[in-house]
Amino acid sequence: MEEFHNDLRGARWKVLAGSYRRWMQTGMAEEAKKLKGALNAVVVAGRCRGGHAANQVSRLSGLALFDFDHCPEKLSGMKEKAKALPYVVEAFVSISGEGLKLIVCIDAENAGQYAAAYPVVARELERVLGHPCDMSCRDLGRACYASYDPEAYYNPAAEVFPWREQADGLPQAEGEYPAQAVDGARPAGVAPEAGNGFMQAFLNDFDVRNPFATGGRHAFMLKLGRYARYKGFSPEEMRLLQKTVVEKYAQADFGSGEIEKTLFSGYQYASVRKADAVGEEKGSKAQGSLYTPHREEEGDDLEDLLFGKSEAYRRQAPYFPEEVFEHLPEVLAEGVKVAGSYRERDMLLTAMVANISACLPEVRVLYDQVYYSPHLYYMVIAHAGGGKGVVSLAGILPGEIHRYYEKQNEDMRLVYDKAFFEWELELKKAQAEKRSPDFSLRPKEPARKLLTLSPNVSKSLLISALEESGKLGCCINATELDMVSGAIRNEYGKHDDVFRAAFQHEVVSADFKVNGRQVVAHHPRLALCFAGTPNQLARFIPSLESGLYSRFLIYTGQSDWCWRSAAPRAGGEDHQSVFARLSHRLLELHLFLLQSPTEVTFTAAQWEEHTSRFSSHLSEVVNERDDSPGAIVLRHGLMASRIAGVLTALRKGECAWAMPQYVCSDEDFHTAMLMTDVLLEHSLLLSTSVQKSETNSKPLKPYFRLRPVLQSFSGTFTFAEMVEKAVKMGIPQSTAKRLFKKTVDLELVVKEDGKYRKTHRKWA
């Protein structure tokens, strides 16, 4: 508590709290809400296990949180009154800057006593402060968000509030609540009827926030059913709720049968994902506090809460290990120096690799008996301010090569124009002499090689560019995914199929309407480097089914909100100049590789490690879900070899050895594997937000369920120990058994002498 108090008064949350208050005042409510969801929070009422739903509070702290909202005018006076109360432990201004939060010392041995004590204390505080208390904070699992108040009050020697002496005046006293254990389980032998008191309280509380009206009776019942599902009501408790609802709301034209049917429909079809978000898995019998509302229903919309968790997952997404940056080729090592944070460094490195992959002509890798060029697809997904803008620097790298070919195009065009002029003269001369023209003089229009293409290129022009560029290939950079998805949605676009085919050098073709000529790119080579937001991703790739998602290296993450000085650095070179200089070096490498075709090869030991690593990845991913995105793992195996090919080609350029075969060093191979491991984790995480047909992205959630359970065992374990551990970590028993059976079938664990042993190297 003392640490929390010091953080409230110190600078830890000052900037974030200031941003939240400023955004709320300027109408940026959505941004403020997301920022609040990503802040630190503490559950005042007790210690939680697995989450902070009411039924996950495992031990009471003897403290309770009380919230007084929307009182800016009398805030200072209320705070002074609160400081004079002997039972107030902490008093501070809320994150909004317009409310007061109090932490009070109470004596409650279980959840039932806590629920009885809370309204007693709230009533007394309302009387003293002269302002209504927000009763949604009475939920045991209610989290208190971080704030900033340099004048926060703290009294570690606060007295216990004598709530039992004042409980008689309340309509529901302690005895009317079940002596409920903190984790929400009903004591053995207690009949369902014993819950009538708190069931009525649950219903009354719901009715206060969702008034029952004649014109909205069905909507009321459906929402009540969904709410009961989110609270984890068992079928037995649902029948008790139906009985209570019928007694209270039945009407002549709205009888018990219709009420029960509508109520059960809401209960039955409630979103399982929303149930997950409040700590309840589908099929779980764990029951939370039945008489207190969840925080999600009280102010913070549940989706906003989940998106707040999504940002937490992004922040927790892994970084590239430091050893990746210890042995990079010179061009990459020099480029990543401009990054301002570890996230930006990761994003920039992969963007540079993707752009350089388009600058390496005549380089190939033999993978599964098929030759591939190094061309890569890369996409970084983050919210505004997440640092993804740094990838635009990587788009400068192909610039000098593009200009080199533009100059060639201009020179060839001049030669063509001159030959065409002579051809026209021959036509006129032949006509005057009444003879056939000399067709050997008719020039052929030169192919126009373009390395970089616009992100809003049409489908026909994209295919034409791929055909004319031949082995050179093309590259597309887009700092906003909407540039690409906007073109794809237009009539002239719809070229996501070209992206899919070009990734594996499959034939793409189109018919020109003007002259009817068929344009065919027999072996297309294409590199992509995109950046965008989660919602832009949903518009670009609405479904995993098409396979486009699995063809991308994906990095997601959110940088911490921290101001970085924009002052010029003495003697420093601007970032564009750094990458313009690197672009010149890539032109030299490009011209060298044109004269020295290169096949990148791997040693037997490297192939063995590649097979072992991706076999493990695939088993691990398939083990988790029946509808697992296994294609993501399979294509990351190919992309790992392409990354290694890029690194090896850069090494060849550094030493200028004109060798037709160049063996990838163990150093570069290890770097490629480490990068791919991290990018695969990011891709799997982000894949949970991609829907099948809807256009809005879903909140993120951890991909792996059973892996953390098995990782918790250091040696052998029994089946019962595994199930017990899984339930403690929030996995329903039936789900744990089903997943474990698949794990055994895949031989990720083996049974020996009545116990199980892990064979998977990541789990051992």
- 253 & 343 share domain: no
Q: Which pLDDT value is given to residue 764?
A: 57
Largest separation between any pair of C-alpha atoms in the chain: 123
- Is the confidence at residue 373, as pLDDT, over 90? yes
Q: What is the mean pLDDT of residues 16-38?
A: 80
- pLDDT confidence band for 172 (50 / 70 / 90): very low
Q: Locate 757 and state its tokens.
A: 């042993």
Q: Give tens-digit pLDDT for 286-333.
A: 333 333 334 334 334 444 444 556 777 777 888 999 999 999 999 999
- 227 & 143 share domain: no
Is 600 part of any domain?
A: yes
pLDDT top residue among 125 and 113:
125
Query: Is-contact 147 93, C-beta < 8 A?
Result: yes
The one-letter amino acid at 661: Q
Point out the domain boundary residue: 254, 275, 300: 300
- 715 & 598 share domain: no
Radius of gyration (C-alpha) of the chain in whole angstroms: 33
**pTM surpassing 0.75?**
no
Q: Which pLDDT value is given to residue 278?
A: 39
Q: Which pLDDT value is given to residue 256?
A: 73
- Is the confidence at residue 245, as pLDDT, over 90? no
- 74 & 169 share domain: yes
* Residue 543: CATH number of its domain: 3.40.50.300
- pLDDT confidence band for 4 (50 / 70 / 90): confident
DSSP single-letter state for residue 1: -
- 80 & 124 share domain: yes
Q: What is the mean pLDDT of residues 211-226?
A: 77
Beta bridge partners of 103: 65, 90
Query: Is-contact 160 87, C-beta < 8 A?
Result: yes
The two beta strands, 370-372 and 363-367, are antiparallel
- pLDDT confidence band for 595 (50 / 70 / 90): very high
* Residue 746: CATH number of its domain: 1.10.10.10
Q: Which pLDDT value is given to residue 208?
A: 63
Q: Locate 54 and state its tokens.
A: 């009411």
- Is the confidence at residue 197, as pLDDT, over 90? no
- Is the confidence at residue 665, as pLDDT, over 90? yes
Query: Is-contact 469 450, C-beta < 8 A?
Result: yes
Q: Which pLDDT value is given to residue 174?
A: 36
Is 421 part of any domain?
A: no
Mean per-residue pLDDT of the chain = 82
- Is the confidence at residue 369, as pLDDT, over 50? yes
Point out the domain boundary residue: 148, 176, 204: 176
- Is the confidence at residue 77, as pLDDT, over 80? yes
Q: Is 89 helix (H, G, I), strand (E, B) or coil?
A: strand
Q: What is the mean pLDDT of residues 12-29?
A: 81
DSSP string, 22-65: HHHHTT-HHHHHHHHHTS-EEETTEEESSS-SGGGEEEE-SEEE
Is 154 part of any domain?
A: yes
Q: What is the mean pLDDT of residues 434-449?
A: 88
Q: How many domains does the chain have?
A: 4
DSSP single-letter state for residue 361: T
Length of the chain: 764
Q: Give tens-digit pLDDT for 611-621.
A: 999 998 888 88
Angle between helices 29-37 and 302-316 (to 10 degrees): 60
Q: Which pLDDT value is given to residue 673?
A: 95
- Is the confidence at residue 579, as pLDDT, over 90? yes
Is 740 part of any domain?
A: yes
Q: How far apart are alpha carbons 713 and 735 in whole angstroms?
A: 19
Q: Give tens-digit pLDDT for 375-418.
A: 999 999 988 777 888 999 999 999 999 999 999 889 898 998 99
- Is the confidence at residue 692, as pLDDT, over 80? no
- Is the confidence at residue 570, as pLDDT, over 70? yes
Query: Is-contact 210 223, C-beta < 8 A?
Result: yes
Query: Is-contact 435 417, C-beta < 8 A?
Result: no
Is 425 part of any domain?
A: no
Q: How far apart are alpha carbons 395 and 579 in whole angstroms?
A: 9
Is 419 part of any domain?
A: no
Q: How far apart are alpha carbons 339 and 391 in whole angstroms?
A: 10
DSSP string, 82-131: HHT-TTEEEEEE-TTSS-EEEEEEB--SSHHHHHHHHHHHHHHHHHHHTS
- 371 & 463 share domain: yes
Q: Which pLDDT value is given to residue 620?
A: 85
- 161 & 221 share domain: no
Q: Give tens-digit pLDDT for 537-569.
A: 888 888 888 889 999 999 998 766 677 777 787
Q: What is the mean pLDDT of residues 153-181?
A: 63
Q: Which pLDDT value is given to residue 496?
A: 83
Instruction: Please state which of the ranges 184-198, 422-436, 453-467 shows the lowest mean pLDDT.
Output: 184-198
Query: Is-contact 365 374, C-beta < 8 A?
Result: yes
pLDDT top residue among 191 and 71:
71
Which residue shows structure tokens 């190939």?
364
Point out the domain boundary residue: 268, 300, 332: 300
Residue numbers of the domain that contains 728? 706-758
Q: Which pLDDT value is given to residue 171?
A: 39
The two beta strands, 474-478 and 452-453, are parallel
- 258 & 339 share domain: no
Is 508 part of any domain?
A: yes
Is 418 part of any domain?
A: no
- 154 & 218 share domain: no
pLDDT top residue among 699 and 62:
62
- 639 & 740 share domain: no
Query: Is-contact 57 45, C-beta < 8 A?
Result: yes
Q: What is the mean pLDDT of residues 243-271?
A: 74
- Is the confidence at residue 282, as pLDDT, over 50? no
- 41 & 138 share domain: yes
Max mean pLDDT range (74-88, 216-230, 622-636): 74-88
CA distances from 394 to 289, 332, 342, 401 (A): 53, 10, 16, 14
Beta bridge partners of 90: 103, 154
- 295 & 356 share domain: no
Q: Give tens-digit pLDDT for 719-741.
A: 999 999 998 888 888 888 989 99
- pLDDT confidence band for 253 (50 / 70 / 90): low
